[in-house]
Amino acid sequence: MKVFLNDPIALSARQRLEAHVEVVDNYDQPEELDAIIVRQQYCSGEIIRKAKKCRIIQQHGVGLDRIDLQAAKECGIPVKNTPGINARSVAEYTIAMMMDVSRKVTEIDKKTRQGLLTSFGMPETVGFEMTNKRLGLIGSGNIAKEVAQICRDGFHMEILCWNPRRSDEEIRGMGFIPSTLQGLFSCDYVSVHCLLTPDTYHLINRTSFEDCTPNLILVNTARGGIVDEEALYEALISDRIAGAALDVFEKEPPETDNPLLQLENFVAGMHVAGSTYEALERNGKAVVDNVFEALGIDG
């Protein structure tokens, strides 16, 4: 049997896979593939329609925006992901980005290395506490819940949430205060935890920043494209918001001349929020388990 995999996964998972199937790193002969594993790669409709033997398309992670779901449905190929497995890792990284921007950790580190800070207590090193602040969640899934728990337990934050697919009663049942999308931008922090779909493309745009607290810090560890980067840049340079951090960009990796990367009140990641040794082991095991089940392999 042949399984497509052209992305790094946990070594233990890859070795387990290679012990039972032939792993191929290209789509040159899609008609020979029995399964497709996607992490960073894309799985187009053209490939899916040619993969007549394929019995499963497995996403390593949660987001399915790299897979042509309509083509998979038309071809009768099941698509699976691994929801919740890396939730804690992404949540911890989200908090790390909040703290970084709030306390200017990256900025201070850079200026210290450059010899630009001549004494402690300089005005440009002053940041914000996170304790007793208000957090707005876009989405209410596993990662959002983990972020909320850390912020509530560790920083005594008040948590607001917007999820158009949930009723106010359901959101209250999760321990959150229901809000409109625009209402979240009255908070001190807004954290993005929704999928990238046609409905959420540029969900955060110029309108979002028109009437928000100037101390707002925006963090996106979900998917690039949900935040309009031009609008975010304008909001940052005009002091409409205090800072932002993106682990994901509309184009990855971002171009080095991306204007956001030139700003001191902006922190960049490289789609690494879920990349911990622990999460990769859990994800790898779940991915291989699903593939082996679909292929009838006892391994």
Q: What would the pLDDT profile of 231-279 be if each residue is shown by its tens digit?
A: 999 999 999 999 999 999 999 999 999 999 999 999 999 999 999 999 9
Residues 121, 214, single domain; the answer is yes
Measured distance CA(275)–CA(280) in Å, rounded: 6
**Which positions are annotated as active-site residues?**
223, 252, 271
Q: Is 90 exceeded by the pLDDT of residue 63?
A: no
75 and 132 belong to one structural domain: no
Which residue from 218, 196, 225, 253 is spatially nearest to 62, judged by alpha carbons?
Answer: 196
**For position 251, which CATH number holds?**
3.40.50.720
- 223 and 106, same domain (yes or no): yes
Domain co-membership, 123 together with 156: yes
Q: Is the domain of 176 the same as that of 48?
A: no
78 with 107, same domain: the answer is no
Instruction: Please indicate, yes or no, whether residues 142 and 121 belong to a single structural domain of this protein.
Output: yes
User: Does the pTM exceed 0.85?
Assistant: yes
What's the pLDDT band for 179 if we cut at 50, 70, 90? very high
Please check whether residues 100 and 189 belong to one and the same domain.
yes
Asked if 100 and 135 sit in the same domain, the reply is yes
Is the pLDDT score of 299 beyond 90?
A: no
Question: Are 127 and 202 members of one domain?
Answer: yes
Q: Which domain holds residue 171?
A: 87-268
CB neighbour list of residue 96: distance below 8 Å, 6 or more residues apart: none
Residue indicated by tokens 């012990």: 19
Tell me: pLDDT of 296 over 90: yes
Say if residue 132 is exposed, middle or buried (CB neighbours under 10 Å; 0-12, 13-18, 19+). Answer: exposed
Q: How many domains does the chain have?
A: 2
Instruction: Evaluate whether 196 touches 223 at the Cβ level (below 8 Å).
Output: yes
Same domain for 15 and 106, yes or no, is no
